[in-house]
Amino acid sequence: DAKTTQPPSMDCAEGRAANLPCNHSTISGNEYVYWYRQIHSQGPQYIIHGLKNNETNEMASLIITEDRKSSTLILPHATLRDTAVYYCIVRVAPGTYKYIFGTGTRLKVLA
Amino acid sequence: SQTIHQWPATLVQPVGSPLSLECTVEGTSNPNLYWYRQAAGRGLQLLFYSVGIGQISSEVPQNLSASRPQDRQFILSSKKLLLSDSGFYLCAWSQKGGYGYTFGSGTRLTVV
């Protein structure tokens, strides 16, 4: 089954870029990588997803390596409100409807 | 637009009591529906998912059950709660094809 690996925690200064890495070396060829974040006591919130090309939206940018075995979520100008747990997820296997969440990366933005 | 409703937001129940948590989705049809649980300080654990009415897949042996009596309704139940059932329960839906999830706001269950 495909799975992801993320560092357990990171700190980032307010106003600086936060770069959150994710390893997904077992990802299948046509599976997307999704990023969510969870602020304390709330449901996870969708951030961005991608397949092969880099993606950008109003929340973040996603950089996917050419071999697709890893990706990096970039919050270009982190604010205190970006403090949350960030999850990188992929589908367990093609044709399934299951996504496995690991423990994510706890990002703390420092004033 | 699609919305997902989950209630109640918080619940305190005694050990041995029954449980019923409800989740409904609006603005879509034939969604995939999911129940996740998050223990304190832990990641999200997939409990059940459903691809259609009456179709339930259980991921982890446990004291809980799920039902899908209507297309956009997903219910999580227990006949007798255990202390270990405490946690943050999240309902989610996705479109067929598996393009990510949308989560509800969650129910924080404390079994005392």
With 80 as the cut, is the pLDDT of residue A96 above it?
no
Using pLDDT thresholds of 50, 70 and 90, give the confidence band for residue B98: low
Determine which helix (DSSP H) or strand (DSSP E) holds B87, and give its type and residue range.
Answer: strand B87-94
Q: How far is B36 from chain A (nearest CA, A)?
A: 10
Residue A1 scores a pLDDT above 70: no
What would the two tokens of residue A98 be?
A: 């299951």
Task: Among B94, B101, B108, B109, pick the best mutation site for testing chain A contact (most A Cβ within 10 A).
Answer: B101
Residue of A nearest to B50 (CA): A97
Residue A58's contacts (CB-CB under 8 Å, 6 or more residues apart) are none
Quickly tell me which residue has 């405490």 as its tokens. Answer: B86
Q: Are A78 and A109 in contact (CB under 8 A)?
A: yes
Residue in this structure with the two tokens 């990588």, named with its chain if needed: A33
Query: Residues A7, A53: contact at Cβ < 8 Å?
Result: no
Residue A111 is predicted with a pLDDT of 94
**What percentage of chain A reaches a pLDDT higher than 90?**
70
Summary mean pLDDT of chain A: 91
Two tokens at B20?
Answer: 């019923």
Identify all chain A residues contacting B9, using CB atoms and an 8 Å cutoff. Answer: none
Residues in B touching A87 (Cβ below 8 Å): 43-44
Task: Supply the pLDDT for residue B17.
Answer: 97
Nearest CB to A42 within list B43, B44, B105: B105
Mean pLDDT on A84-98: 84
Range of A30-34, A43-47, A60-64 with top mean pLDDT:
A60-64
Min Cα–Cα distance to chain B from A26, Å: 18
Q: Which residues contact B61 (CB under 8 A, 6 or more apart)?
A: none
Angle at B83 (CA atoms; ends B8, B92), nearest 5 degrees: 40
What's the rounded Cα separation, in Å, for the pair A8 and A107? 9
Residues B1-25 pLDDT 10s: 789 999 999 999 999 999 999 999 9
Rounded mean pLDDT of A54-77?
95
Cα B66 from chain centroid (whole Å) = 8
Reported as a single tens digit per residue, the pLDDT across B63-89 is 899 999 999 999 999 999 999 999 999
For residues A35 and A48, the answer to whether their CB atoms sit within 8 Å is yes
**pLDDT for the residue A49:** 93
